[in-house]
Amino acid sequence: MIKVRKYNHILVYSIFLIFVGLFQKTYAFVPEDSLKDPDYIASIIKYTSYYPFIRYNVNFIEWVNSNAISSFFDKLSNSRNQKVKILHIGDSHVQADIGTGYLRNRFQQIFGYGGRGLVFPYRAANTHSAWDYRTFAEGNWENSKNIDKERKFDIGISGVTIYTTDTNAGFKFVFQKNSLPENFNLLKLLLKNSPESFDLNLKASSCNDTLYIPCYFENNNKFIEVKLPKSADTLYFLVNKTKKQQNFLEFYGLFIESSTNDGILYSSTGINGAGYNSILSQNLFIEQLSAYDPDLVIIDLGGNDFYKQPFAYSKMETMLHEIIKNIKVASPNTAIIINSSQNFYRKTYNVAECEYFSELTRSVAFKNNCAFYDYYRVAGENKSMMKWLANGLAKKDKVHLTDKGYQVKAELFLNAILMSYQKWLRNNNIDTLIAINNKIDSSELVSYFDKNIILKKENVKVQVATETKAVSNANQNYSIKGQKLEYVIKQGDNLGSIAQKYHVTVNDLKKWNNLSTNKIIAGKKLIIYSNYKDTNDNKSSLQDKKSTSQAQQKIKHEVKPGENLWVIAKRYNTTVDKIKQLNNLTNDNLKPGMILIIK
């Protein structure tokens, strides 16, 4: 996943200008109180394309306590009067800024223009920049990235640092002409504040004179601020040695903001190949995140943590917990959305662990009172990457997306936020929102598409097993005499544990609920009939008890290719530690064919 993407700047920029032109004209005519009107928010939820494998009917941001998201939604509703700051943290899917650029643009069209956000002179770090600007560098530069095994320099929220001792060094940002609104004229520089730091000279295309920027302040300001008369398409920074003791410059990034206190400031930061451990290596992350003080942080990475290595559930869980803790330390009132990963392939091998990652991120998000976006499920779940590829939405590596694919992904995420936001507005700050319990029926869903689009029934129907259908199927083998129960699936449940709890079998549960696989989803309801009699079962209750007793004495499992301890533990409703203890395992390594004692 470390491969650098190639893309057409001109095509993407043309699309950007079309969107800006369309929405900047309409923004001024939107009533000021519309952002608090759920009907207005519902009216702007639109999908430009339809793909039958995408689960549009469960496209929501989820939470189990509204405190996880309310602070951000409160800010959104008042974005005409205060700036709303977002930080989107990712990997190679984010560094080029194709999807996040679309998100920034659409958010600002709806909620106001608060600034371009975080940019970096990537050329000085020998990597590519975002789609909407180019960077240039001169002189000798060294760099450290969060993916490096050994890091020479401190690293902040951008995930990359450049360093020079060359007094002739410089770097330049060149934005597409007229792409920045005039009031995007406030610059905030992140660099090492030291009396030994070089100063800077700035040549901005919107200024006639060169600006002198001192880079050391004894009051320990988090940013060095520069206000231009208006936004500049070109920003050219040159090292300026003004004192004898100055001998280096260490640069962490630049924020470009509007000079007004309103709208959306959407910053994205991604490094090719980054994972959870990469974020934890950024030793200035807490300090700089505290200075930025975002209203929302989006954690949108993790695939690199299991792309070419075993799925280490406990390790990944611990790292994600730590990232969340660091964010809350830096900015206690920040809302956090954790994204799961789309299905992807490793060459010709389908990475089934993406499903486990979806379960992990959901579990950690809810345990830490964060919001969650199940992009894995919405994008089509297991092996769906082949459908994205067939429709021109994915690259041949079956990991990265095309420009069109990233736009589809970004549109899904934006609409998920808007769908959940309008429900939050409509339902008096709805305390819990679980996507599976809020499926959109086809009559509502069709309104979000172009009128000419025909939705395929199997992809938009509400898949809830009715009592009549369940009983009808069950009566093929059972005489129902027991009480009908409705069980709400909890996080960590599996069919085996539920069957054991209600003294039924897994096959019973699958037949009663029309399930073709053992997969179940937290929040969904299961129909259960207690005290039934199996009319095809000729075994006596004594034999049943004997069989059950024998099964309970010792349960064994043969390890299959691709399985790990966490997957096996989930299947049998036990823990990794218990399995390791029963089998005297000193690590998590398994080999296909091993026989494990489970209970």
CA atoms within 13 A on the CB side of 379: 34
**pLDDT tier for residue 557 given thresholds of 50, 70 and 90:** confident
Distance CA(225)–CA(200), nearest Å, equals 12
Q: Which tokens in the block code for residue 118? A: 């975080």
pLDDT score for 258 = 97
Kindly tell me if the per-residue pLDDT of 462 is higher than 80.
Answer: no
Distance CA(360)–CA(343), nearest Å, equals 14
φ, ψ (nearest 5 deg) of residue 544: -60, -45
Distance CA(246)–CA(166), nearest Å, equals 11
As a whole number, mean pLDDT of residues 158-170 equals 97
Distance CA(110)–CA(205), nearest Å, equals 29
List, by residue range, all CATH 3.10.350.10 domains of the chain: 467-551, 554-597
The conformational region for residue 262 under phi > 0 = left, psi -120 to 50 = alpha, else beta, is: beta
What's this model's pTM, rounded to 2 decimal places?
Answer: 0.75
CA quadruple 45, 49, 50, 56: dihedral positive or negative? Answer: negative
Q: Which tokens in the block code for residue 192? A: 């090492």
Q: Which tokens in the block code for residue 583? A: 């089998």
**How long a stretch of residues is the chain?**
599
253-267, 464-478, 503-517, 544-558: which has the highest mean pLDDT?
A: 253-267
Which residues are within 8 A (CB) of 132 and not within 5 positions of it... i.e. 6 or more apart? Answer: 12, 13, 16, 97, 101, 175, 176, 179
List, by residue range, all CATH 3.40.50.1110 domains of the chain: 1-111+281-461
CATH 3.40.50.1110 fits 1-111+281-461, yes or no: yes
The conformational region for residue 531 under phi > 0 = left, psi -120 to 50 = alpha, else beta, is: left
Q: Which tokens in the block code for residue 148? A: 């490096």
Kindly tell me if the per-residue pLDDT of 18 is higher than 90.
Answer: no
CATH number attached to the domain at 554-597: 3.10.350.10
Which residues are within 8 A (CB) of 74 and not within 5 positions of it... i.e. 6 or more apart? Answer: none
- Taking a C-beta distance cutoff of 8 angstroms, is the pair 339, 361 a contact? yes
- Taking a C-beta distance cutoff of 8 angstroms, is the pair 512, 484 a contact? no
Distance CA(250)–CA(121), nearest Å, equals 12
Distance CA(359)–CA(67), nearest Å, equals 22
Q: Which tokens in the block code for residue 475? A: 């009566």
pLDDT per position as a tens digit, 252-262: 999 999 999 99
The conformation of residue 57, written as its DSSP 8-state character, comes to G
pLDDT score for 44 = 93
Look at domain 113-261 and name its CATH class.
Answer: mainly beta
pLDDT per position as a tens digit, 369-407: 999 999 999 999 999 999 999 999 999 999 999 999 999
* CATH architecture of the domain with residue range 467-551: Roll (3.10)
Kindly tell me if the per-residue pLDDT of 533 is higher than 70.
Answer: no
What is the Rg, in whole angstroms, of the alpha carbon atoms belonging to the chain? Answer: 27
Kindly tell me if the per-residue pLDDT of 303 is higher than 60.
Answer: yes
pLDDT per position as a tens digit, 96-123: 999 999 999 999 999 999 999 999 999 9
The conformational region for residue 365 under phi > 0 = left, psi -120 to 50 = alpha, else beta, is: alpha
